[in-house]
Chain A
Amino acid sequence: MDSNFREILPTLVAHRVKFILIGGGAAIAHGASRLTYDVDVVYARDPQNIACLASALADKTPYPRGAPPGLPFQWDERTIASGLNFTLTTSMGDLDLLGEVVGGGAYEQLLPYTEQWEAFGIKCRIVTLEKLIQLKRAAGRPKDMDAIAELQGILEERRKLKTKGAK
């Protein structure tokens, strides 16, 4: 299933979840052209936000992705508080909820490296291009090499545009 930004992001916003879009979704927002199969967000770990997150996905049948069926998995505040990073399937599509991300830390630490953008009729926080490159690099996955090259290409093209605009 391809990533369903159109449904997932407005659902989180409607439930007042504090989150930052990272990963492939942020790359698309910055101008990348590659396909991505899930939605990756870093969420705030305070009790109020955990309650919002529990409620946002309550009727979306969240379940650990790749886990055998039939596990006694219950999506509630206790589960979220006991865990940190959740890779989930939901009725809306695959969703990765990260309490912390390598190279970026928790929501509060990542917040200064975000921009507020508008899409799908909502405003949401997206990690900056510069930070996204650092996150991808910190993840150290061979599959990200292509993505980092593309993101650096975007950074270079943006700088060229700025220079042209300044002339």
Chain B
Amino acid sequence: MSDEAVPYTRELAPPDFVDPVIEFYKKDIDRTLLRENLKLTVAERFEKYEKFAEYARELREAGRRARKQA
């Protein structure tokens, strides 16, 4: 049997491959949010995203205005 190192093929691993780095990031996931999203249709998920993007845009604008006034 060859002693050659096994090539690094993490990206080809199955999608549920347990990567310790990813597991670390997983602790911060809001699963309640994911569960709510999974109840929606694809169209509804995009609509929700658009509302969120609009909200984020308004916040960015507000921040910009506040910095200008300061």
State the A residues within 8 Å of B (CB): 2-3, 5-6, 28-29, 31-33, 35, 103, 117-120, 126, 129-131, 133-134, 137-138, 140, 145-146, 148-158, 161
Shortest Cβ gap from A139 to chain B (Å): 8
Cα distance A148–B23 in the bound complex, in angstroms? 10
Cα distance A119–B12 in the bound complex, in angstroms? 30
Secondary structure at the A interface, as helix, strand, loop or mixed, is: helix
Shortest Cβ gap from A79 to chain B (Å): 30
Q: Are A120 and B46 touching (Cβ within 8 A)? A: yes
Q: Are B15 and A130 touching (Cβ within 8 A)? A: yes
Query: On chain B, which size bracket covers the interface?
Result: 20 to 34
The verdict on A149 contacting B45 (CB below 8 Å), with A103-B11, A154-B38, A157-B35 known, is: no
Cα distance A120–B50 in the bound complex, in angstroms? 12
Q: Are A152 and B37 touching (Cβ within 8 A)? A: no
Q: Are B22 and A119 touching (Cβ within 8 A)? A: no
List B residues 36-59 near A (Cβ within 8 Å): 37-38, 40, 42-43, 45-46, 49-50, 52-53, 56-57
Interface residue from A29, A35, A134, A161 paired with B15 (Cβ < 8 Å):
A134
